[in-house]
Amino acid sequence: MTKRLALATLALSFVVAGCREMLTETPKNFITTDAYYRTPADIEAATLATYQPLGQADVWRRWLLWDTEMASDMTRINPDEPNFGTYHPGLLLWTPMDGSMTSPWNGLYTSIYRSNLVLENAPKVTFIDTKYQKQLIAEAKFVRAYDYLMLTKAYDDVPLLLTLDDHANTASKSRTPVEQIHQQLIKDLTEAEADLPDAPTQLGRASKAAAEILLADLYQWRSSFLKKPEWQETSTWAKKVIDNPRWGLTDDYLAQYLPANKGNKEVIFMNVSSGLDGRSSTDPNCNWLPRELGFNQAGGCEVVGQPTRWQYESYLCSTPDPLTFNASGRIADTTKIKTCDYRKQVTYRLGGCSTSASIGCIVFKWPNLNKFRPTNRGVGGPSDVDFPLYRYAEALLIYAEAQNELGNPAVAVGVLNQLRARARKGSGTALPEPHAYGTQPGEAIDVASVRSAVFQERNWELAHEGKRWFDQIRRNSLEPGYWKSTLVQHDPETATRGDVSEFRMRFPIPGPERTLNPNLTQNPGY
C-alpha cells in the first residue's frame, strides 16, 4: 500500500478534474495536491471519486466478481477458457501472489484512501450549504464502511486505516481484529444514515437506505459467520429499508436490470455503467456473453463463467427442465424452460443470434447468463448495464433470514412468498411456479427447513450478483461442513481439479503487501 499511496494521490488528481458526470469525463488538466479541497466543489469531486474503484477491474467489474462467482457452486468455469490466470478462481487454486487475490485488496484500499481524504479535508472547507457538507462526509463514511465489510468478508483481519497518517505508515501496520473493524463500521454507518438523503443525489450514490441495508448485511454476516447474537439488529436495519415507501419490488423481475429503467425503485446501490467508454462501464459483455456468438464484436465475448448444472436445474418448474444434449453437443431441449420460474427464464438463455453471417442463430452448448442485457447486446461498444450491489429484494431476504433465526419461521415464509408471487406474475402472464412455500408436501415451517428455503431463494433472486460465495461461507458456520459438501456436490470439477480445503474459505493476504510490510501475518494454509 505504501508505494501505491503516491500513485493513488496522482490518480485522484485526475479523477477530481472530471467529477460531475459520475466520473466519466476525460480529464483535461493535471491538478497538484496543493489545489485540492479548497472549495465545496473540490470536496464533492473527491467524494464521487470514492465510489469509482468499486466499478473498476480490481473490484466488481472483474476480479472480486470473478473470484466470488467462479469459486461458488453457482458458477462453473467456461470449458473453452484456456487461460489458467483467468479461470483458477473456479478451482480455488489462488495463491497470495495471484492478481485475483491482490486486485480486490488494492481496489478496496484505494477507495478507503479516497474516503479518508474526504473525511479529513471536508470539515476544513467552508460550505454555505452545511447540510450538503454533512452529506458528503456521510457518503465517505458509507463507502469506507462498504470497503471494509468486503475486505473482512474476504480476508478476515485487515489493517484499519482511518487517517492519512495511517496510510503514510502502512509499511508497519498490523492486521486489525475483525471485531474492532466492525465496531468502527457500526459507528460510521449509524452516523452516516442520519445525514444521508432519502433518495440518492445522483445515480450510484448512497442514500439512507443504502446505509441501512449495509448495516443489515454487516449484522447478518456477524450473526451467521461470526455467530454473534445479533439477529435482532439484522432484522431492525433490514426492516427500515422495507418500511421506506421510496423503495420496493419492480413488477417485472427483469425490468430492474434493463438500462432503460435506470434509477428504478428496487436497486438501492449500484455500480453505474455509462456505456460511453470502458473506464466508466461495467463489463457483463466479456464476463458473460458467449464465445459462440463471436468474440467481442458479433454479440459474444469470453464468457468466463456459466451456471453450474445444479444452479440451472434448481429452479422450480411445472415440467422438469433437466439439461440434455444432442449428438452435436448442443442443448437438446429449449422449450421446457418456459414452464419454469420466470427468474430462470430471464436469467438464462439457451441460444442466440450473432451479427456474423457465418455464425447466425444457434443453440448453445451450455446455458448463458442473460439478465444483464446491454442496449447494444454486446455489439460495438461497452455495456450500459448498472451492476446492483444492494436491491430491495435483498432487504426482504435479510429480514426473512433474521426473523427465521429469531424463531419466527412463519414471518420469514410470508416474506419469501412475496418474492415468489412477483416471480409467478412473470412479465404479465401468470405462471404456476414458483409456488408459495409451505403449500406443497414436505415444506415444513420450522427454523431448519425455512433456513434452507431462504438460502435457496437467495440463489434464485440474487443469481450472479456476487452473493453466493459469501452465503456458502456464512452457512458453513451455522451448519459445519456445508461449504465443502455443496462445492463437491454442486460443482464437482472444483473437487476433482482444484482444492476444497477449508482454509480456502478465506482469501490469502496478498504476498506483495507482506513483502512491503513484514508485520502482516498470513491466513492459515497459505
5: pLDDT strictly greater than 90: no
Q: What is the mean pLDDT of residues 357-370?
A: 92
Residue-wise pLDDT tens digits, 241-276: 999 999 999 999 999 999 999 999 999 999 998 655
For the chain, the domains span 1-196+481-526, 203-268+390-479, 278-385
Q: Considering the chain, what is the average pLDDT of its residues?
A: 91
- Strand pairing of 75-77 and 305-307? antiparallel
Q: Give the whole-angstrom CA distance, residue 453 versus residue 189.
A: 30
As to burial, measured by CB atoms within 10 angstroms (0-12 exposed, 13-18 middle, 19+ buried), residue 162 is middle
C-alpha 502/C-alpha 424 separation (Å) is: 38
Bridge-based pairing state of the strands 305-307 and 387-391: unpaired
Q: What is the pLDDT of residues 64-115, one digit of tens each?
A: 999 999 999 999 988 877 778 788 999 999 999 999 999 999 999 999 999 9
Lowest mean per-residue pLDDT among 240-244, 392-396, 493-497: 493-497
135 within 8 A of 196, measured Cβ to Cβ: yes
pLDDT of residue 152: 99
User: What is the number of residues in the chain?
Assistant: 526
Residue 11 CA to chain centroid, in angstroms? 24
Q: Phi and psi (nearest 5°) for 299?
A: 115, 0
Share of the chain above pLDDT 70, in %: 89
**pLDDT at position 21, please?**
38
Cβ neighbour number for residue 31 with a 10 Å cutoff: 18
Instruction: Show the cell assigned to 420.
Output: 415468489
Lowest mean pLDDT across 3-17, 137-151, 390-404: 3-17
Is residue 53 predicted with pLDDT exceeding 90?
A: yes
What is the rounded average pLDDT of the residues 166-186? 97
pLDDT at 517 over 70: yes
- Phi, psi torsion values for 97, nearest 5 degrees: -95, -5
Residue 129 has pLDDT above 90, yes or no: yes
| Cell digits of residue 517 | 510490510
With a cut of 80, say whether residue 239 has pLDDT above it.
yes
Find the mean pLDDT for residues 207-226. Answer: 99
CB 115, CB 64: distance < 8 Å: no
Segment 124-138 shows an average pLDDT of: 98
Is residue 350 within 8 A of residue 312, CB to CB? The reply is no
419 within 8 A of 310, measured Cβ to Cβ: no
Cα distance between residue 247 and residue 394, in whole Å:
12
Residues 95, 96, 102, 105: what is their CA dihedral angle, to the nearest 10 degrees? 120
Pick 203-268+390-479's CATH classification: 1.10.3720.10, 1.25.40.900, 1.20.1530.20, 1.10.3080.10.
1.25.40.900
Strand partners, 270: 388
pTM: 0.93
pLDDT value at position 428? 86
Structural fold of domain 1-196+481-526: 1.25.40
Give CA–CA dist 231/238, Å, rounded: 11
What is the percent of the chain where pLDDT is above 90? 79
* pLDDT tens readout for residues 268-312: 999 998 655 555 556 655 677 788 888 666 777 667 789 999 999
Decide if 75 contacts 311 (C-beta within 8 A): yes
pLDDT at 499 over 90: yes
pLDDT of residue 384: 87
Alpha helices in 243-324 (DSSP H): 284-288, 309-314
User: Average of pLDDT values for 500-508?
Assistant: 98
Same CATH fold assignment for domains 1-196+481-526 and 203-268+390-479: yes
Instruction: Give the per-residue pLDDT at 123.
Output: 97
Q: Kindly report, residue by residue over 10-48, the tens digit of the pLDDT.
A: 445 444 444 433 433 333 344 445 567 899 999 999 999
